Amino acid sequence: MDPDPQSRSFRRTMYRAAERLTGRRIEATYRALLAHDTLGADEIRALQWHKLKALLEDVYSSVPFYRRRFEEAGIRPDDVRGWEDFRRLPLTSKRDIKAAYSHEVVASDRLHTRLIERVTTGTTDAPLRFVIDTEMFDLGVARALRVLDWAGSTLGDRMVQLGPIRERRGLQHRLFAHMTQRLVLDTLALTTSSTPLCCPADTSVPDQIDLDRAGRYCRSIAAQRPGLIYGYVTDLLALAAYIEHTGFTGIRPRAVVSSAEILTDPARRRLETIFGAEVFDLYGATEFPAIACECEVHNGLHVLSDSYVVEIISDGRDASPGETGEVVITDLDNRVMPFIRYRIGDAARATDRRCSCGRSFPLIDMIEGRTSEVVVAPGGRLLLARRFATILQEMEDVRAFRIVQERIDRLDVQIVTRPSWTSQHGESLLQRIRALVGEDMEVTLSQVPDLAVDPSRKERYLYSSVEYDIVGGRCYRS
């Protein structure tokens, strides 16, 4: 629902009042970031380089972990005179951070200040603990609000956020959310079964949804009258299934923003149909809120290069346009516990396209999935989770699925089916999967009664025992 100007003005006033009452500092940063949308490509690159140089100087003097790594690589901040010099800095893994946490990786001048510990979801390995301060926390909010503006939601607009809440929210946090018209709904209890929700083609209400809770959530959302709904893909699909099955009306946002999981074309079409809204794909992480996001043109995801350096690396070099590589991130603003050339564990497809929207931020073609969720075919060809998810999500008779690779020459497709499933459906599915992976790989199809939800609550489509390093181009175990 599009708010009238008077109502929107009132909510902006309330937002500022909430900031003063709770000591938050978001609006000024949000507006400064929005101003960067009008910068040219050279101006953004110059800003990025200026921030990077300042970051390297700071971490060298205040973070023992990075000082040691720089010295081991034989490079000092003064030696970094161009992007090729920057790429000489070593990559940083989660394992590296965990081994040095916390005193080695936290800036020495911040160790005795008030810090906020955060924990990643740990989709494919043990969760990572890291710390930020209140300034970085508010910067993360401002970054997210900045890209939600691209979806038509300005500061103070009503918003609904769906997702699992693992951290206790304090009174100040809840007060700020209430005053700024942000409704936060915890989806940890939205499902009652262990089977993941991953098939948007299924038009029935999955029996693992808590119908009473889904009904309460839908009524709360309708009462909120949000301009924007933001959440995990699977949570959005769960509500979409409930809305379609029950005929629930009253939820008509201007935009839906999905994050945290792969947004496939079938999932996007379903969300657009049920919510009657434009759907935007946002790429972010617990460590890095709002790394890249679609604009109104939907021609890829704009990298927020005034906040990050995002590299896509394949076989030790920058990925070519159209090539898939591993995402490596440097946060240009985090001085508390810096992340420099950090392997976040995601894969993306590079592009050199320019967007017609007028923004000069570079594009990522698409996020392909986790680097750990990759099928390595004989000969070294890589197939990421998105390719399989797109095929299986189009099948109405498949309730849930999982791809398992235990050997480099064998793939098992595990499916939870509906009563309408037939052997003909199985043959059709096998034919499509075999066409994707090639003749050198054996493909089996297994019907299973249930599939366990990943502990992270994020949808995980693919499990592989074949480890492949996309950055280095090496297969470790098959």
What's the rounded mean pLDDT across residues 180-200? 69
Residue keyed to tokens 């209400």: 205
What CATH number does the domain containing 410 carry?
Answer: 3.30.300.30
Domain that holds residue 392: 374-477
Please tell me whether residues 193 and 236 are part of one structural domain.
Answer: yes
Pairing verdict, β 342-350 and 324-331: antiparallel
pLDDT 10s digits, 284-294: 998 998 999 99
pLDDT at residue 173, rounded to an integer: 78
> To the nearest whole number, what is the mean pLDDT of the chain?
87
For residue 302, what are its two tokens? 């704009």
Q: What's the gap between Cα 124 and its chain centre?
A: 14
DSSP string, 234-275: HHHHHHHHHHHHHT------SEEEEESS---HHHHHHHHHHH
Burial class (CB in 10 A: 0-12, 13-18, 19+), 386: buried
Domain end: 346, 369, 392, which one?
Answer: 369
Please tell me whether residues 217 and 332 are part of one structural domain.
Answer: yes
Q: How far apart are CA 388 and CA 393, in angstroms?
A: 9
What CATH number does the domain containing 365 carry?
Answer: 3.40.50.12780
- The single-letter code of the amino acid at 102 is S
pLDDT at residue 10, rounded to an integer: 83
Domain end: 369, 404, 425, which one?
Answer: 369
Please tell me whether residues 351 and 441 are part of one structural domain.
Answer: no
Please tell me whether residues 140 and 228 are part of one structural domain.
Answer: yes
pLDDT 10s digits, 231-274: 988 889 889 989 998 999 999 999 999 998 888 888 899 999 99
Angle at 339 between CA 335 and CA 341, to 5 degrees: 135
pLDDT bucket at 477, cuts 50 / 70 / 90: very low
Which is more confident, 295 or 120? 295
Please tell me whether residues 415 and 296 are part of one structural domain.
Answer: no
Reference 375, options 312, 438, 426; nearest CA is 438
pLDDT at residue 446, rounded to an integer: 93
Domain end: 369, 399, 430, which one?
Answer: 369
Q: How far apart are CA 82 and CA 79, in angstroms?
A: 9
Q: How far apart are CA 295 and CA 21, in angstroms?
A: 33
Please tell me whether residues 324 and 385 are part of one structural domain.
Answer: no
What's the rounded mean pLDDT across residues 58-86? 96
Which is more confident, 44 or 181? 44
Please tell me whether residues 124 and 138 are part of one structural domain.
Answer: yes
Number of domains in the chain: 2
